[in-house]
Amino acid sequence: MNAAIWATIKLAAARGIDVVGVERGYDGLIDGDFRPLTRTTDSGALAPIEGVAWLAGTGGTFLGSSRCARFETKEGRAEASRQLVDAGIDGLIVVGGNGSLTGAHLLAQEGPTPIVGIPASIDNDIGGTTTAIGVDTALNTILQAIDNIADTARSHHRAFILEVMGRRSGYLAMNAAVAASADGALLPEESKTEEEIVDGLEQLLRRSFAPERSKQRVIIIKAEGVEVPCTRLARLLGERVADLPNVDVRAAVLGHIVRGGRPTYRDRMVAGRLSLGAMSALLKGRTDVMSGWSVGAGTETA
């Protein structure tokens, strides 16, 4: 998200447009918690404020973000709209996932300020865009973790079940499993019961660790949307294959480590393109729309 904020600041300043940031997401919007992100130089030109040139290379959002119960009410959104009008803000760019963009949609419908969204969610579960800010960085973080754990798995003849984030989407688990040459992937879209999952994993381990395979490790990637806890799966599976010689089953939950880190080249580039699309939409008078990333026919466009 910081990469998108930085791109927006630079693009706007180059066009002579002042930018203010909203602290703490919709909570800050309701409270009128704004801060300037551009300044006027001695020559009269607009430029980014001092001390933010590091933004593009850092994870997260320096403006902060939070869930806001007040914004779920019409009264809360009316106050947010009033704050925008009183501050003289001519357009709002909202960077976020399903919750943030749903809020942006309602605010655009109920208030006078033009609003454009930018998709940012490692889950990659937002419609209308092939990818979102954060997805590529999350996948690269997951791959590095898998590679590290695979070293231990090979050394000790172990099977590892690694849980990755994604809510109800199996996108991260599926793509990480393919890229890391994992032995299996557990996805919420398959809607399997606990018994079906354990049965399938038992068969996988017995095939993989058969003497003729000479296999040293098994890696299974589990999406968090699969409701059976990772540690429970490891215990149940370990009991099923207790007769296999020298085979241990372990669990690891990557959790929020996947959400941070320095953004990859692709995420920085996507953030810049989506920010340009969002700003262009506002300058054309558009509202209640979202910039998106489209992949097709060998091309990528924002």
**Angle formed at CA 72 by CA 88 and CA 100, multiple of 5 degrees:** 70
* Region label for 27, one of left (φ > 0), alpha (ψ between -120 and 50) or beta (otherwise): alpha
Amino acid letter for position 151: D
Beta-carbon neighbour count of residue 70 at 10 Å? Answer: 15
Beta-carbon neighbour count of residue 60 at 10 Å? Answer: 14
4 contacts: CB under 8 Å, gap ≥ 6: 95, 118, 120, 133, 271, 272, 274, 275
**Angle formed at CA 55 by CA 30 and CA 277, multiple of 5 degrees:** 70
* Residue 267 is a catalytic residue: no
Contact (CB, 8 A) for 297 and 123 = no
Pairing state between β 248-253 and 158-164 = parallel
Which of 27, 86, 123, 243 is flagged as catalytic? 123
Pairing state between β 34-36 and 20-22 = antiparallel
Question: CA 161 to CA 151: how far, in whole Å?
Answer: 14
DSSP code of residue 264: P
Q: Which residues are part of the catalytic machinery?
A: 123
